[in-house]
């Protein structure tokens, strides 16, 4: 029997909220006598708690119950401690409860403190284990005197229970390694991949998550941010003095500390004027040394290469900060909003875009979603993970919404994912990432896997080792300058490539002189495929389908007087490149050149200066500029085939340029035409 010590009973709750939200039934189990204890030993398996089971310390009892809980699919926490105040005072009882025991009390809102809208996991579960202290056999020990294992919620599978906070731990060795990686400027995602490789575990099987690593880094921050902020602002002002076209904006909080800062370069603003129709706003990265959220704006130029547009550092990832970032970016870009914007899945950012960019189509970056798959599904699906991923990619690329809906249900059934929260969330957001829902909007090819990898690699170049904010700004500036130079070299290399015509069609040879090699290669693929399709004239257009099919097809509308053509597959709206169906109809109606409006300026062989000029001149003048551009592009291609041709072309063009400059500049915008010549 437990010793009855005089004195007042003292009860201490490990979580004060449990005093109001959790009440264990004291009559449900009682202290046992030694004889009764022996009668309760109905299990020979010490892995299962039983009344009377003994432990040398209360900590060893906690560890035992924790291991039992992990095997069963839940975790535990310390609930209540009881002791006597007076003679022989000390602990006499301890209660351990399921992590979902009790109910979270309602918190009073505080306007001065940001509120996190997190759903509580507590649901009033009554599972618990009580231990009591006894000294009847000599040395003090702890005995189980109460135990209930009935839960009012589902228990987790073994591959899911390890994600509960109680079982996510970072060892001291791993902490030291994480700090070392952080000082080297390695991102948290890269840290996770490296440690998975080092430990030889599958993605998603580390005993901690990315969030745990970020929290650890946050606790280790010891840098003087105020001094860094002063240096950063000073540097931006110095850049502005040297380059008046450099733009930056910042916010100072009530404590006179830097809260947010954004900046953009003249070349970036110029690029946005032509290639700002579709942009990526990547907010998935952080400055590791400071644990600051980082946002990078990226576009795609006419040669299919990523181009840097802007950068922003935020103290918090909330609605107010994202709204500020969007406003400032549009301000940098002279009030012009993009047609489409791709981002990561972030509720605050989604809400900010809806308010600040109401006319812009918002979608989610597929590569940012796919990057999370290993941690989401590898452990859940096991050997079937790669099979599931292939099926997901097939569904993603479908054209029909109906086919997607049917295929998604089949996928859930086949892989048993009906109750998976990630699958449910992806389905709820399907209109923001699945291509069947997005094909009527322009994305400049940024939704393809290849282009996604190129953009991600481009962004990673700006995230090399950083130790100070100023050094990061310098790194971005160097990176932008390097990318501008590298882009010019790649552009020249593309233009010097010998383009091989595959169909012999006049449409193909004409497009080859207008479009960049990157864009032409996309169009050429469609021209080659168009030969495999049959056309059937209907009252309101054409039905186009593959020659091996007897049903289905795409509806193509052709208005010859206005030169308007459209297809139900929406490929032109989606990529700016005509589809095989439309090209087949143009061939059928004896159209030997693609209508000018279907060779978009953003995909043509012209510099940014030239493109801007085309957008701002009259139609007649613009057509002549396009013709000249086409001739010059052909001249460069033909001249590059031999040294002799190159020498002749250089000599003759020099003479021609001298003659042109002898004539007056009388046409509107002729100053820009001179600029056009210099940039060809």
Task: Give domain status of residue 204, yes or no.
Answer: yes
Task: Quote the pLDDT of residue 674.
Answer: 37
Return d(Cα 470, Cα 530) in angstroms, integer: 53
My answer on whether 142 and 71 are in the same domain is: yes
Confidence of residue 494 (pLDDT cuts 50, 70, 90): low
Residues 524 and 597 in one domain: yes
pTM (two decimals): 0.61
Residue 60 lies in a domain: yes
| Structure-model confidence comparison of residues 223 and 258, the more confident one | 258
Domain-embedded: residue 579: yes
Q: Assign 3-state DSSP to the chain and report helix, strand, coil percentages, each to 5.
A: 50, 15, 35
pLDDT tens readout for residues 356-375: 999 999 999 988 899 889 98
* DSSP classification of residue 539: T
Q: Are residues 89 and 186 in the same domain?
A: no
| Residue 301 or 84, more confident | 301
Q: What pLDDT, on a 0 to 100 scale, did the predictor assign at position 193?
A: 87
**Cα–Cα distance measured from residue 179 to residue 189, given in angstroms and rounded to the nearest whole number:** 14
Backbone torsions φ then ψ of 67, nearest 5 degrees? -65, -40
Q: What is the pLDDT of residues 96-136, one digit of tens each?
A: 999 888 877 666 665 555 555 556 678 889 899 999 988 77
In 3D, which of 78, 103, 105, 83 has the Cα closest to residue 93? 83
pLDDT-derived band at 672, boundaries 50, 70, 90: very low
Given strand 541-546, what is the order of strands in its sheet?
533-538, 541-546, 554-559, 564-567
**Residue 213 included in any domain:** yes
Rounded to 5 degrees, what are φ and ψ at 23?
A: -135, 115
Is residue 197 one of the residues assigned to a domain?
yes
Look at residues 603, 622, 657 and tell me which one is the last residue of a structural domain.
603
- The answer to whether residues 443 and 434 touch, using CB atoms and an 8 Å cutoff, is no
**155 shares a domain with 72:** yes
Residue with tokens 């589902």: 154
- List of E strands, 207-305: 247-252, 258-264, 278-287, 292-300
Tell me the two tokens of residue 443: 């994305």
Region 628-649: mean pLDDT is: 72
Residue 563 lies in a domain: yes
**One domain for residues 60 and 153:** yes
Q: What is the pLDDT of residues 191-220, one digit of tens each?
A: 888 999 988 888 878 888 888 888 887 776
| pLDDT recorded at residue 484 | 52
- Give the pairing type, strands 361-364 and 340-343: parallel
For the chain, the first-to-last Cα distance in angstroms comes to 98
Q: Tell me if residue 248 falls in helix, strand or coil.
A: strand
Spatial distance between the Cα atoms of 16 and 30, rounded to a whole number of angstroms: 25
What average pLDDT score do residues 68-85 get?
83
Q: How far apart are CA 43 and CA 147, in angstroms?
A: 14
Residue 608: pLDDT over 60 = no
Q: Which sign does the torsion angle of CA 401, 403, 405, 411 carry?
A: negative
Assess whether 158 and 178 both reside in one domain: no
User: What is the spatial distance between Cα 619 and Cα 626, in angstroms, rounded to a whole number?
Assistant: 10
Which residues, in sequence order, are CB contacts of 385 under 8 Å at separation 6+?
374, 377, 378
Average pLDDT, the chain: 80
Instruction: Tell whether 157 and 66 lie within a shared domain.
Output: yes
Of the pLDDT bands very low, low, confident and very high (cuts 50, 70, 90), residue 321 is very high
* Residue 619 near residue 294, CB atoms below 8 Å: no
**343 with 283: CB under 8 angstroms?**
yes
What percentage of residues in the chain have a pLDDT greater than 90? Answer: 41
Collapsing DSSP states into helix, strand and coil, what is residue 591?
coil
Domain residues for the domain of 511 are 506-603
516 in a structural domain: yes
Torsion, Cα of 135, 140, 143, 146 (10° steps): 70
20 has pLDDT over 60: no
Q: Are residues 88 and 148 in the same domain?
A: yes
Residues 133-167 have pLDDT tens digits of 887 767 888 999 999 999 998 888 877 888 888 88
Number of domains in the chain: 3
Residues 69 and 134 in one domain: yes
pLDDT at 32 over 50: no
Same structural domain for residues 57 and 145? yes
Angle at 240 between CA 234 and CA 242, to 5 degrees: 110
Q: Where on the phi/psi map is residue 84: left (φ > 0), alpha (ψ -120 to 50), or beta?
A: beta
**pLDDT, greater one: 463 or 509:** 509
């Amino acid at each position: 029997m437990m010793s009855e010590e005089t004195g007042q009973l003292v009860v201490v709750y490990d979580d004060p909220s449990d005093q109001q939200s959790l009440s264990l039934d004291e009559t449900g189990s009682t202290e046992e006598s030694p004889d009764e204890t022996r009668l309760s030993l109905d299990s020979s398996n010490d892995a299962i708690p039983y009344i009377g089971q003994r432990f040398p310390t209360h900590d060893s009892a906690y560890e035992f119950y924790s291991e039992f809980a992990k095997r069963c699919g839940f975790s535990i926490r310390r609930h209540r401690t009881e002791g006597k105040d007076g003679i022989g005072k000390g602990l006499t009882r301890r209660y351990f409860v399921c992590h979902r025991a009790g109910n979270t009390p309602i918190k009073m809102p505080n306007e001065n403190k940001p509120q996190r809208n997190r759903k509580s996991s507590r649901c009033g579960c009554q599972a618990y284990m009580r231990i009591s202290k006894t000294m009847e056999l000599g040395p003090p020990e702890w005995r189980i005197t109460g135990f209930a294992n009935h839960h009012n919620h589902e228990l987790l599978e073994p591959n899911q229970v390890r994600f509960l906070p109680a079982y996510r731990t970072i060892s001291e060795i791993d902490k030291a390694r994480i700090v070392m990686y952080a000082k080297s400027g390695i991102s948290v995602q890269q840290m996770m991949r490296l440690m998975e490789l080092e430990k030889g575990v599958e993605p998603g099987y580390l005993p901690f998550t990315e969030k745990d690593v970020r929290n650890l880094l946050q606790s280790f921050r010891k840098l003087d941010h105020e001094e860094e902020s002063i240096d950063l602002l000073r540097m931006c002002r110095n850049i502005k003095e040297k380059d008046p076209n450099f733009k930056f904006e910042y916010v100072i909080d009530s404590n006179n500390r830097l809260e947010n800062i954004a900046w953009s370069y003249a070349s970036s603003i110029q690029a946005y004027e032509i290639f700002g129709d579709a942009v990526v706003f990547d907010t998935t990265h952080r400055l590791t040394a400071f644990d600051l959220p980082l946002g990078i704006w990226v576009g795609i130029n006419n040669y299919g290469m990523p181009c840097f547009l802007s950068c922003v550092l935020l103290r918090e990832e909330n609605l107010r900060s994202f709204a500020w970032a969007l406003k400032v970016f549009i301000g940098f870009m002279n009030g012009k909003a993009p047609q489409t914007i791709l981002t990561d899945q972030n509720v605050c950012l989604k809400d900010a875009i809806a308010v600040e960019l109401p006319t812009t189509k918002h979608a989610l970056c597929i590569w940012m979603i796919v990057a999370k798959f290993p941690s989401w599904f590898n452990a859940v699906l096991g050997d079937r993970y790669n099979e599931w991923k292939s099926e997901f990619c097939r569904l993603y690329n479908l054209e029909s919404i109906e086919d997607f809906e049917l295929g998604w249900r089949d996928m859930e059934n086949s892989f048993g994912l009906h109750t998976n929260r990630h699958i449910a969330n992806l389905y709820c957001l399907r209109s923001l990432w699945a291509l069947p829902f997005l094909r009527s909007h322009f994305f400049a090819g940024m939704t393809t896997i290849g282009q996604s990898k190129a953009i991600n690699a481009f962004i990673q170049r700006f995230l090399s080792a950083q130790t100070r904010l100023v050094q990061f700004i310098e790194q971005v500036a160097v990176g932008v300058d390097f990318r501008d130079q590298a882009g010019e070299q790649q552009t020249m290399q593309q233009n010097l490539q010998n383009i091989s015509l595959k169909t012999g069609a006049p449409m193909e040879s004409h497009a080859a002189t207008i479009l960049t090699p990157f864009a032409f290669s996309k169009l050429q693929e469609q021209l080659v495929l168009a030969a495999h399709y049959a056309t059937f004239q209907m009252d309101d257009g054409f039905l186009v389908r593959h020659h091996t099919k007897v049903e289905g097809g795409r509806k193509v509308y052709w208005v010859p007087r206005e030169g308007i053509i459209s297809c139900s597959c929406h490929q032109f709206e989606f990529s700016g490149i005509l589809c095989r169906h439309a090209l087949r109809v143009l061939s059928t109606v004896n159209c030997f050149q693609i209508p000018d409006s279907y060779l978009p300026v953003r995909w043509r062989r012209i510099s940014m200066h030239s493109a801007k000029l085309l957008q701002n001149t009259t139609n007649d003048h613009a057509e002549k500029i396009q013709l000249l551009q086409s001739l010059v592009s052909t001249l460069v291609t033909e001249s590059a085939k031999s040294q002799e041709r190159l020498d002749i072309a250089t000599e003759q063009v020099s003479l021609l340029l001298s003659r042109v400059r002898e004539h007056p500049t009388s046409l509107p915008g002729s100053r820009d035409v001179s600029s056009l010549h210099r940039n060809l």
